[in-house]
Structure 1
Amino acid sequence: MKELPLNIAIEEGHQGTAQLLLNNGADVNLSNNDGVSPLNIAIEEGHQGTAQLLLNNGADVNVCDNDGVSPLYTACYNGHEGTVQILLNNGADVNLPDNDGVSPLYTACENGHEGTVQLLLNNGADVNVCDNDGVSPLCIACQYGHQTTAELLLNNSADVNLCDKDRTSPLYIGCCNGHENIAHWLLSNGANVNVCNKNGNNPLWIARQKGHERIEQLLIRNGAEVINDFSKSTLRYVQS
């Protein structure tokens, strides 16, 4: 199927043309072959005024594409706070996930969009909702080193020890990626320093494997247990 005239007008930012097409019977919810609706195109392109026009003309605020991506998800992925607010004001489901179980909050956290994260939390987003692999918004924020986002989640009751399906904790993933400040913050907020993943490895083990010596010392000062095959440098810190 060729691209629809309404979709083309929206993608190009021609709001007047879009209005003309709608006035002449264009289907505001007719999606393309990928299941992408006119509203989702407007959101992806950052055309806030056009998005409002479509909503005013009956656009389905929660329509998803073939991958389960909703307009709100798209806006959160891109960090378009104004558009996020418009969608929420028009009844967007704040917790609607894509086909991989990724929620709008998760994708905002993954990309470090702090303002968007706060907006979602203010509107009832589930702070502990996980994707299909059991990865939480806090865990993904820790993975990418978004400390302020992680702090925001913890201040809004995120479970500091919520593990994914492989029993990988936020602390483990933060240590794995060398994010010392995040590790310190997690420990200060009650993270279990000795929680092990499905392979029996704890945060200290992965910090050593990755060569993050400052994190090793931090973990040991907070009671980390030496397990598996540790280097002499780690044992030196334990004994000192």
Structure 2
Amino acid sequence: MGDSPGPAIGKLRISSQLDSEHPLTAHVPVTRFYTALVTGDLRSLEVLTDRYHQDVNLVFEISKNELEWQVKSQASYGVSGLWALEQRWERSTPLCLAAHHGHPAALRHLLRRRAHPDLAPGAQGPLHEACRGAHTDCVELLLEYRADPNLRSEEGLAPLHLCTTRDSLGCARLLLRHGAAVDLPSTACGETALHVAARHGLSDHARLYLQRGARVDARSARGETALGVLCATAPGAGQDCLELCRLLVAHGAQVDARDEARRSPLHKACGAAHAGLARFLLLRGADVNAIDYDGLSPLGLALQSAASRARRRPHLTVQLLLNHGSQRIWPPAFVKVLRSCAAVPEVIEVLFNSYSQIPVSQEWTEAVPEEVFQQHQPFYKSLFQLAGAVRCLQHLCRSAIRENLGSRCHSLIPLLPVPKALREYLLLEPEGAVL
């Protein structure tokens, strides 16, 4: 006997406007099958498969018009070009379509008629599609019919990598119950399911994976641990991220684990202006003065990203680091900070007040754009008026106390028997002006 024939291919032209040269009526049987799968029309599926013997392992080719950047010449390196509408073809199967749209009844009908549970002519298989859509019923059906829980997609992702929403927790449980490898790395970036859970802030998923033996400090191709991924992205509500951070550390995650760029989770939390995560890491012993391959400390990254993270109140991270003993930047480099952080004056104020005395020069006034100066005029007027002047006695006393306490400012100043306003002053709480 010869090899069995491969799956039939039905070509569909799916677009918002159809021209007369490609009338859809020429493909009525295929389009009816496609429509029934997308809508979950079980009655039509029964008629098409049982009466008209429509192939349940049919492969659809669906045209999808997308805007693509077309480079004019190889020498232009993408700088010169134009946007053009390009036709792209995507392949799919009946099972993939039913799983993608979350139709378990249609899926069961196809599987009972010997649809192959792992047929994946396109980028992803049926199980991937079901997990991406968090369709637990569909995942359960496919696994009952022995779909491979570790099958990788064209992108090198296993189904577990596509459990990226809270609603997909049931899918993850089913996959693990049916033999999914909890530490299977993705082909391209080497991330495990725990990395994915960390990136999306999924505490329950992470807890499930850790209970199933996931390695808490498994490294991706870039040398990142799940804790590092979490601190770099910290999605969702801050409290959720903090809960996940606590969970990872409680299971032994290294707070100072470095990636290939020698950046620690603290570097990443500070670069993302997540003061809550940074505080937690510092209290767990993270190195406040760790240096990456670019020579940047967590404070350096916090300052570098402050302007783009203005809504996250980056001054809180800067304040936190200074109160935990972070080394300050070289005074002559302060003008560079002013240029990059002028739009977030709270950052400038906190950093400026961490020095007992730092000379204010004419170059500083030139570093602040006029529109920023006008927007924050009270603060910048008070700052520039200190040119050639000595800071007030109150500030000098603050500096002396902070110098004496050093890296213990964060823990000892709150214990001082002084009014709350004075404790906040000693901890560099911004006031909107400097004296």
Would the TM-score normalized by the shorter structure come out above 0.5?
yes
The corresponding residue for 2:120 is 31
Aligned residues: 238
Q: Deviations over 1:120-167 (max 9, x none)?
A: 111111111122112221112112332221121111111100111111
The alpha carbon displacement at 1:11 in A equals 2.7
Rg bigger for which structure? 2
In the alignment, structure 2 segments of 5+ residues that lack a partner are 1-58, 61-91, 235-240, 307-313, 338-347, 357-398, 400-435
The corresponding residue for 2:283 is 188
Q: Deviations over 1:192-234 (max 9, x none)?
A: 1111010111112223334433323322232222345346853
The corresponding residue for 2:165 is 78
The corresponding residue for 1:17 is 106
Question: Do structure 1's residue 170 and structure 2's residue 170 form an aligned pair?
Answer: no
The corresponding residue for 2:51 is none
Identity %: 30
* Counterpart code for 2:194: L
* Counterpart code for 1:125: A
Q: Deviations over 1:50-107 (max 9, x none)?
A: 21111111111100101111111112x2231111111111111111121211211111
Q: Report matched runs for 1:76-225 at 5 Å.
A: 77-79=164-166, 80-98=168-186, 99-145=188-234, 146-211=241-306, 212-225=314-327
CA contact (8 A) 1:201 1:227 kept: no
Task: Measure, in 2, the Cα distance between the counterparts of 1:221 and 1:139.
Answer: 23
Task: Measure, in 2, the Cα distance between the counterparts of 1:13 and 1:209.
Answer: 44
Q: Per the alignment, do residues 213 and 18 of structure 1 end up closer, same or farther by CA in structure 2, a change over 3 Å counting?
A: closer
CA RMSD, 1 decimal: 1.9
CA contact (8 A) 1:220 1:238 kept: no
The alpha carbon displacement at 1:6 in A equals 2.3
Question: Do structure 1's residue 60 and structure 2's residue 155 form an aligned pair?
Answer: no
* Counterpart code for 2:354: Y
Q: TM-score, normalised by structure 1?
A: 0.91
**Greater shift in the superposed pair: 110-119 or 20-29:** 20-29
CA contact (8 A) 1:160 1:189 kept: yes
Task: Measure, in 2, the Cα distance between the counterparts of 1:45 and 1:205.
Answer: 40
**Greater shift in the superposed pair: 103-112 or 39-48:** 39-48
Task: Measure, in 1, the Cα distance between the counterparts of 2:255 and 2:182.
Answer: 22
Task: Measure, in 1, the Cα distance between the counterparts of 2:133 and 2:301.
Answer: 40
Task: Measure, in 2, the Cα distance between the counterparts of 1:13 and 1:219.
Answer: 48
The alpha carbon displacement at 1:235 in A equals 5.5
Task: Measure, in 2, the Cα distance between the counterparts of 1:8 and 1:220.
Answer: 54
In the alignment, structure 1 segments of 5+ residues that lack a partner are none
The structure whose RCO (Cα within 8 Å, separation 6+) is larger is 1
Task: Measure, in 1, the Cα distance between the counterparts of 2:192 and 2:231.
Answer: 17
The corresponding residue for 1:237 is 354
**Greater shift in the superposed pair: 217-226 or 57-66:** 217-226
The alpha carbon displacement at 1:16 in A equals 2.7
Task: Measure, in 2, the Cα distance between the counterparts of 1:13 and 1:217.
Answer: 49
Q: Per the alignment, do residues 22 and 136 of structure 1 end up closer, same or farther by CA in structure 2, a change over 3 Å counting?
A: same
Q: Per the alignment, do residues 201 and 6 of structure 1 end up closer, same or farther by CA in structure 2, a change over 3 Å counting?
A: closer
Task: Measure, in 1, the Cα distance between the counterparts of 2:273 and 2:101.
Answer: 42
Task: Measure, in 2, the Cα distance between the counterparts of 1:210 and 1:43.
Answer: 35
* Counterpart code for 2:323: R
Task: Measure, in 2, the Cα distance between the counterparts of 1:178 and 1:114.
Answer: 21
Q: Which structure has more strand as a fraction of its residues? A: 2
